[in-house]
């Protein structure tokens, strides 16, 4: 019922409480380990809690496999399996995909839209693993198939300006 102290959700809620006007929101990308939750009931409870508290749940694929070099069929199967992982637990389709390791498949479009078996997906955006802020969706340089996302990394090297601890 309440996030553990020191977790991303707890920190966002603390900042929102201390700063009126700041909204505690974010997207949590899940894989089969679902943040260490073991049972389907625990996983569903966690995803529903996030949803009910204004957070999004996104697809990070089921197994977090590198999609670069995989066939279209393999990419579709892995992305669809991650999509189903979420939709089997809560009645909400994820609207974005975060590519494992930030690696795009050989066909950039394969991660955004496809199907495998009875599962189909059509995402509004596909996130890479980057360290720079993304262009605005209204900017001519915005690429919905390659949106950089802020990584959770220390303030060193290329991450000195834009990674999470910066």
CA distance 161 to 166: 6
160 pLDDT above the threshold of 90: no
| pLDDT score of 156 more than 80 | no
DSSP 8-state secondary structure symbol assigned to residue 28: E
**Residue 103 DSSP symbol:** P
Per-residue tokens: 21: 């006007």
CA-to-CA distance for 122 and 24, rounded, in angstroms?
26
Residue 128 CA to residue 110 CA, distance in Å, equals: 14
- Token pair belonging to 103: 């690696």
Residue 129 has pLDDT above 90, yes or no: no
Residue 165 has a pLDDT of 64
Q: Return d(Cα 112, Cα 90) in angstroms, integer.
A: 21
Bridge partners (DSSP) listed for residue 98: 127
Sign of the C-alpha dihedral computed for residues 112, 113, 115 and 119 taken in this order: positive
Q: Which residues contact 34 (CB under 8 A, 6 or more apart)?
A: 42, 43, 46, 47, 85
Of 38 and 131, the one with more pLDDT? 38
Taking only the tens place, the pLDDT of each residue in 41-94 is: 999 999 999 999 999 999 999 999 999 999 999 999 999 999 999 999 998 999
Q: What percent of the chain has pLDDT over 70?
A: 89
Nearest in space to 11 (alpha carbons), one of 20, 24, 22 = 24
Q: Show the tokens assigned to 53.
A: 């508290």
* Neighbouring C-beta atoms of residue 14, cutoff 10 Å: 14
Angle at 55 between CA 165 and CA 37, to 5 degrees: 85
Q: Could you tell me what percent of the chain has a pLDDT over 90?
A: 74
């Amino acid at each position: 019922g309440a996030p553990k102290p020191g977790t991303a959700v707890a920190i966002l809620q603390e900042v929102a409480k201390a700063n009126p006007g700041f909204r505690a929101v974010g997207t949590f990308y899940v894989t089969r380990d679902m943040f260490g939750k073991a049972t389907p009931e625990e996983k569903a409870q966690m995803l529903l809690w996030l949803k009910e508290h204004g957070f999004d749940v996104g697809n990070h694929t089921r197994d977090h496999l590198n999609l670069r070099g995989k066939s279209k069929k393999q990419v579709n199967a892995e992305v669809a399996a991650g999509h189903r992982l979420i939709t089997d637990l809560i009645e909400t389709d994820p609207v974005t995909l975060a590519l494992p390791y930030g690696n795009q498949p050989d066909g950039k479009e394969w991660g955004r839209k496809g199907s495998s078996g009875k599962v189909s997906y059509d995402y509004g955006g596909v996130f890479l693993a980057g360290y720079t802020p993304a262009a605005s969706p209204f900017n001519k340089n915005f690429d919905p198939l390659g949106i950089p996302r802020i990584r959770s990394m220390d303030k060193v090297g290329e991450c000195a300006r834009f990674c999470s601890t910066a």
